[in-house]
Amino acid sequence: MRLLLVEDEPDLLAGLTRALRKQGYAVDTAADGEEGLYKAGSTDYDAIILDVMLPRLNGWDLLARLRATKATPVLMLTARGGSTDRVRGLDAGADDYLVKPFDPPELFARLRAIIRRSAGRSGTTLDIGDVHIDTVARTVTCAGQRVSLTAYQYVLLEYLALHRGEVVTRAALYEHLGDDTEDTLSNVLDVQVMRLRKKLGQDFIVTRRGEGYCIE
């Protein structure tokens, strides 16, 4: 899953980026509102983490402009915890609101929730035949046996599972699973799909030649 983190505090920006990448997310960053709005408008992110107090363009105005064209899930972060500010953020189109300081596990849980809702999934597990995916524990079992996956393999599987029945193009997978620091021309996607098939069954992920991949 690819995220955009818009935060002007350098230490928090760097720390959150590291923590989110350890969770398997691809993360792009922006340190001011104008850069954040440009990136949010030009890339289809799975979710945006948006600080309120930003230079050049505040988070509320950024969100209002973004909502004119996109419905990307947005989790707002702010040091202002008053109910008036929370109401303003939610009424502006935010999907959730988290007050600083916060515990990273709560941030991760809220992110998972808004991503699930945006994909039309309310539960925390995904069951496809013998394959069981726990999106909270980020674990996978097949026929009751735990399957060991790398972080990249897990997010690739989860993304395809959240879009079950849809053909997901290679370009879309590269866009959602890689950030702007990665080389999207590599063959990493082909290799990881091959490894997932070895672990979950050769027919679990179907290749639609010239189109992309699909879990049917």
pLDDT tens-digit series, residues 91-120: 778 999 898 889 999 999 999 999 988 877
Would you list the domain boundaries of the chain?
2-118, 125-214
Class of domain 125-214: mainly alpha
Tell me the average pLDDT across 70-86: 83
Pairs from 205-209 (Cβ < 8 Å, separation ≥ 24)? 205/160, 208/167
Q: What mean pLDDT comes out for the span 118-132?
A: 85
Bridge partner residues of 126 (DSSP): 133
What does the angle CA 53 – CA 57 – CA 59 come to, to the nearest 5 degrees? 45
* Residue 161, strand partner residues: none
pLDDT band at 215 (very low <50, low <70, confident <90, very high): very high
CA 99/CA 79 separation, integer angstroms? 6
For residue 6, the cross-strand partners are 30, 50
2-118 topology per CATH: Rossmann fold (3.40.50)
- Per-residue confidence (pLDDT) for residue 81, from 0 to 100: 66
Q: Are 2-118 and 125-214 in the same CATH fold?
A: no
80-101: average pLDDT: 80
Cβ pair 114, 96 in contact under 8 A: yes
Strands 74-78 and 96-99 come out as parallel
